Chains A and B, each alone.
Chain A
Amino acid sequence: MSEEKRRPGWWLPAALVVGLLLGVAIGFLIPRGETLPADGSPEAGFARDMSTHHSQAVEMGMIAYTRATDAEVRMMARDIALTQQGQIGMFQAWLREWNLQPTGSQPAMAWMPGGAESVEDGLMPGMATPEELKQLREATGIEEDRLFIKLMIDHHLGGIHMAQEVVELSDEPEVVESAQLSINSQQRDLTDMQNLQKRLETAS
């Protein structure tokens, strides 16, 4: 008789303990339960394709930084190369955070409506062709500066377009915020480069 009355009394704290543990477990799970961008998501596509797109900007920037003659062009080239190399690191960190691979199975730009059609010879919008890169490596004097500015203006236009698309498609705050920052920044760069281009036209 006394045993039966006592036992339920001890189950109460036990139930409390279990309840507490469950509560803690649920509390831990809820913030992590937010859905991460999936393999075929616009965010993943943007992070992967922008890594590729940026890599070429870094390459062109480093070529111009070491070869251009105009101080302002070299400054611009250095700024673009360093900033975009840093951003590649950010894109790769996102993919890891989302438990995704650096490369996906989808073709380039497939995350963007009508994006796949904008790829020409495997190159995303604004990217320089292998011939253009060869010219940039071989150009001398002020021609080097002019060619870099011309190629980088096209490159920025393509990049801005991609960033604008991900701002439309994504609701991942980190991605949207970062894409918007680079749209603003690259648009300022564009105006700066167009002004530079005019100055270089008359330079010798």
Chain B
Amino acid sequence: MSTPGPERVPSTVKVGKTTGQGKPPSGKSGKTGPSRPGGNRPAGKGRKPVTPVKVAGGRNWGPIAVAGAVVLIAVAIIGWGVVASLQQEKKQSVPWAERAAAIAGIINYRESDPDLVKGSQHKNGKLSYEQQPPVAGEHNPSWQNCNGVVYSEPIANEHAVHSLEHGTVWVTYKQGLPADQVEKLVDRVEGKEKLMLSPVPGLSTNVALQAWGYQLKVDSVDDQRIDEFIQSLRINASIEGPTAACDGGVSATGSVPQS
């Protein structure tokens, strides 16, 4: 009961003060004034539809255009995202052998010497290898432990080649390389399975990377090809599948094989 009263009073007051539209019909007489009330009563229905339609038409297309633009922009963004993600997928799905082949300076013994890399029997004792450091071939029954182990002394080729067979990337450096440079190689290897690091006396370059059937020799520890070699060949290069073991083998250093 009390609410309708107050509502009515301010509403009428406001209309009168702000717009002044309430006054002309009652008090002032002008050209526009009489035409409105006059039109409203006798023939108002005929005129009204004509003017509102034009106005309404103008008002409606605006929001549609905005909505359309928003949708187009949204689709463009989504489309760009989809294309970008598909391209990313493509990059990741490049076969590892192709990625490896694209590394400048890599030597692919799988192509040049299929007999060497086809897989070999276990053989005890000292063995000789054509490549230095070796990349494949006969090896001792025990593998060199390769769960991201950093060896500060040279290791036996006969065990290291067995680790390569299991999918390890064997990072080697010229014995005597400054400690700060060795440290950059340690950072890449330590604690990461299917990786091991060891010095090699008289290596022809500062760094040499070996995977089963692959070799890359570079002179700078900052060379980005080192990372690309590891990324494309670690685990992938295994000829025993991705689940071959890297522990429980030999952890001793020294060039004389254990067995």
Contacts and interface: CB of A to CB of B under 8 A. Distances in A.
Interface of A: 2-3, 6, 10, 13-14, 16-17, 20-21, 24, 27-28, 71-72, 75-76, 78-79, 82-87, 89-90, 178, 181-182, 184-185, 188, 191-192, 195
A2 B61 CA distance: 12
A79 B259 contact: no
B245 A6 contact: no
B241 A87 contact: yes
B127 interface: no
Given A78-B248, A87-B243, A195-B122, 5 more contacts: A6-B61, A75-B141, A76-B141, A90-B242, A185-B239
21 contacts: A10-B61, A10-B65, A10-B68, A13-B68, A13-B71, A14-B68, A17-B68, A20-B75, A24-B82, A75-B141, A75-B142, A75-B249, A86-B242, A86-B244, A87-B243, A181-B239, A181-B241, A184-B119, A185-B119, A185-B239, A185-B240
Contacts of B64: 10
B243 A17 contact: no
A72 B239 CA distance: 20
A85 B243 contact: yes
Interface residues of B, number: 29
B259 to A, nearest CB: 7
Contacts of A75: 141-142, 248-249
Contacts of B27: none
A168 to B, nearest CB: 20
Contacts, number: 81
B259 A71 contact: yes
Interface of B: 57, 61, 64-65, 68, 71-72, 75, 78-79, 82, 86, 118-122, 141-142, 239-245, 248-249, 259
Nearest to B69: A13
Shortest Cβ-Cβ A-B pairs, 3 listed: A86-B243, A82-B245, A185-B240
B245 A83 contact: yes
B240 A72 contact: no
B259 A17 contact: no
Contact of B79 (A2, A24, A90, A191): A24
